[in-house]
Structure 1
Amino acid sequence: MHVFIGGAYNGKTDYVMGLYKERQVALVDGNLPEIAPACEVLVIRNLENWLMTQNLEDDDQVVQAVLATFRRLEQHCMLALIVNDMGRGVVPIDKQARLLRDTCGRLYQALFIEAEQVVRIWYGLAEQLK
């Protein structure tokens, strides 16, 4: 699993699609697929849109379910995840927004531990973190 993180509209998708341009890529936007499409590389972005539809009160259960799905998907193709940096020290006033930020933070920590590669994209420039 490769994870690419950065702020919104910082060039993550362009970077990732360029990186895998020689391979058969399937792009999933804002959803968590249960079944891997036929591809060499499955790129999932905007996962926080799917997370907003979940019960985030039990974020550990959500994180474990997402990780289990990613492990299943990896059995069929390489997984590249594009995630948005949601924190930067800003605490949202809205409870639901705080739950989303906290769940994303916990999920990203778990993803970074499991990932083979973690890259931060900042305005199109890549910085290898792992």
Structure 2
Amino acid sequence: MHVFIGGAYNGKTDFVMKLLAGQKVELVDGDLPDGTPTCDVLVIKNIEKWLVTQDLEDDEPLVRTILTRLKTLEENCALYIIVTDMGRGVVPMEKQARLLRDTCGRLYQALFAEAEQVVRIWYGIGEQIK
């Protein structure tokens, strides 16, 4: 599993797609795919859009479910995950926004622990942090 993180509109997708040029890539945006992908590389971006549709009150089982699903997907093809950094010390005023930020933080910690590579993207420039 390879994880790429950065702020919104910092060039994460372009960076990853250039990295994967010439490979059979399936790109999933804002969803956790069902079924078995038929590609060399599965790129999942914007998981936080999918998270908005979930119950975030008790996020521990949700994080475990996501990790289990991602590990299953990784059995069939290389897995690249692109996530948006949502924290940066800003605490949203709305409860749902805080729950989303907190759930993303816990999910990202779990993803980073499982990933063999973690890259931070800053305006199109990648910095490997793991």
TM-score of the superposed pair, with normalisation by structure 2: 0.98
Q: CA shift at 1:36, angstroms?
A: 3.1
The aligned residue for residue 68 of structure 1 is 68
Q: Tell me how far apart the structure 2 counterparts of residues 35 and 62 of structure 1 sit (CA, whole Å).
A: 19
- 8 Å contact from structure 1 (residues 11, 124) kept in 2: yes
Q: Tell me how far apart the structure 2 counterparts of residues 21 and 35 of structure 1 sit (CA, whole Å).
A: 24
Which deviates more, 62-71 or 31-40? 31-40
Q: Tell me how far apart the structure 2 counterparts of residues 7 and 63 of structure 1 sit (CA, whole Å).
A: 21
Stretches of 4+ aligned residues off by more than 3 angstroms: none
- 8 Å contact from structure 1 (residues 36, 42) kept in 2: no
Q: CA shift at 1:23, angstroms?
A: 0.8
Q: How many residues align?
A: 130
Query: Does 1:41 find its partner at 2:41?
Result: yes
CA displacement, residues 59-117 of structure 1 (integer Å, 9 cap, x when unaligned):
10110000000010001101000000000000000000000000000000000000000
Query: Does 1:24 find its partner at 2:24?
Result: yes
Q: Tell me how far apart the structure 2 counterparts of residues 27 and 36 of structure 1 sit (CA, whole Å).
A: 13
CA displacement, residues 39-71 of structure 1 (integer Å, 9 cap, x when unaligned):
000000011000000000111011000000001
Alignment of 1:48-63 (within 5 A): 48-63=48-63
Q: Secondary structure at the match of 2:63?
A: helix
The aligned residue for residue 92 of structure 1 is 92
- Percent identity between the two aligned chains: 68
Q: Tell me how far apart the structure 2 counterparts of residues 100 and 80 of structure 1 sit (CA, whole Å).
A: 22
The aligned residue for residue 114 of structure 1 is 114
Q: Which runs of 5+ in 1 are unaligned?
A: none
Amino acid at match of 2:4: F
